[in-house]
Structure 1
Amino acid sequence: MDAEHVATTGRRGGWQPRAIIALAVVWVLLWDKVSLGNVVNGLIIGAVVTQIFPLPSIEYFGRIHPWRLVVLVARFLVDLVVAAVQIVISTLSPRPSLGGSIVEVQLRTRSEFYMTIVSALVSLVPGSIVVEARRRAGILYVHGFHVTSPEGLEELRQDVLDVETRVVRAIGTDEEITLCTQGPTAPGRAAQETEEA
């Protein structure tokens, strides 16, 4: 690894527009409302945070695929609605199934950038949340609300891999897209199961 590469990937601080925009997007999502005030406040907070806690440079070699990005956002919104309805139905059920499970998901890409986006999208959908991430190994541990059967665990794992595929298809390189759409599916396993009476 040459000195120029180290200087490029290891540099911290300074003006970080991509990090500021990413933090602003997260801020708007947290408020669940797109408005001029939220966007401006998100940009201000992003600028302040990146100056106080400068982030390391992230290597990104992909490109944005507009139509696939639209598909990614549209599917995320659909997942939000479907998951919310499922939780309401389960909560109002006369005999709700309490408990949940944690499944280990081996991502196919090794990009921390993609892992962060996948973790955020999975956690923002009601009923699922990333409880741990092993960035070097590319592994996420995802808790599924009311997921207790082996079939449910496999479905949750596949849902996370599908999110990864949509993310990579939206902003990845051709090689990464091929890896996620044609490469072998990494096996997963139930990391932990919990059931409450």
Structure 2
Amino acid sequence: MTDDLPPSRAGAGEPSGDVPQATPPPDAPPPALGRGGRRRDQAVALGWLVVVWLLLWGDVSWGNLLAGLVLGTAVLVFFPLPSVTFGGRLRPGALLVLAGTFVGELVSASLHVAAVAVRLGYRPRGAIVAVPLRVRTDLNLALTAEVISLVPGTLILDTDRARGVLYVHVLDVRGPEDLTRSRERVLAVERRIVRAVGSPTEVRQLDLEPVERRNHP
């Protein structure tokens, strides 16, 4: 008899409350943006383009502001870029860690490059290292590439957007241990960025084992 069953189980076709909800895979693509989301992202991009235009001129005036709006609109209309939407969460503590670590690496790398430059008769060897990232979103790819390129001695030569791979040129490579250390440093930068601005799902992806990451195309 079904009269004694709870209301949620009275119907044969209704799902039970004890059935766990399906969760999307870690590398599932983000949901498609609606028209409002695209307009918001375009408005933010236009604002940044106007700010860059004003900084280039060094003068905040109505004429420069109007010219920046016109040129920024033309860039967005005639040279559209793939939409990159921020779906993460800002964490002030992790942001401070990211900023402090970046400053420390900037000073350390600058001193190292300066020592290599003034060392008489020494010819440093360079290498190109392929580093697969664990979070393959466009935003994480761009932020990690920017932070790595700002540190002296490392430069992003190319990116594989489909596979989430950064190709990094490293200065002063003396052995295999330097290559391993360079990969670990790129992944450490990615970890700090994701912990600072990533979503909870992206933070969980940082703990995936290499085999698990290969199983998520």
**Normalising to structure 1: TM-score of the pair?**
0.72
Matched, 1:125 2:151: yes
List alignment gaps of at least 5 residues for structure 2.
1-30, 212-217
Matched, 1:99 2:108: no
Query: What is the CA RMSD across the aligned residues, in angstroms?
Result: 3.5
Amino acid at match of 1:128: T
Partner of 1:146: 172
Q: Distance in 2 between matches of 1:166 and 1:24?
A: 30
List alignment gaps of at least 5 residues for structure 1.
28-33, 187-197
Partner of 2:208: 183
SS in 2 for 1:99: coil
Q: Distance in 2 between matches of 1:161 and 1:38?
A: 40
1:27-176 maps to which residues of 2 (within 5 A)? 37=58, 44=68, 47=72, 49-176=75-202
Q: Distance in 1 between matches of 2:148 and 2:194?
A: 15
Matched, 1:18 2:48: no
Q: Distance in 2 between matches of 1:47 and 1:128?
A: 31
Counterparts in 2 of 1:151 and 1:24: CA distance versus 1, 3 Å: farther
Q: Deviations over 1:118-175 (max 9, x none)?
A: 0111111110011110000001110101124100000001110011001100100112
Q: Deviations over 1:70-93 (max 9, x none)?
A: 221222122111111100011111
The answer on whether the counterparts of 2:91 and 2:196 sit within 8 Å (CA) in structure 1 is: yes
SS in 1 for 2:82: coil
Q: Distance in 1 between matches of 2:200 and 2:173?
A: 34
The answer on whether the counterparts of 2:41 and 2:83 sit within 8 Å (CA) in structure 1 is: no
Q: Distance in 2 between matches of 1:140 and 1:86?
A: 23
Q: Distance in 2 between matches of 1:82 and 1:145?
A: 14
* Fraction of identical pairs, as percent: 34
Query: Which one has the largest radius of gyration?
Result: 2
Amino acid at match of 2:107: V
Query: 150-159 or 12-21, which moves further after superposition?
Result: 12-21
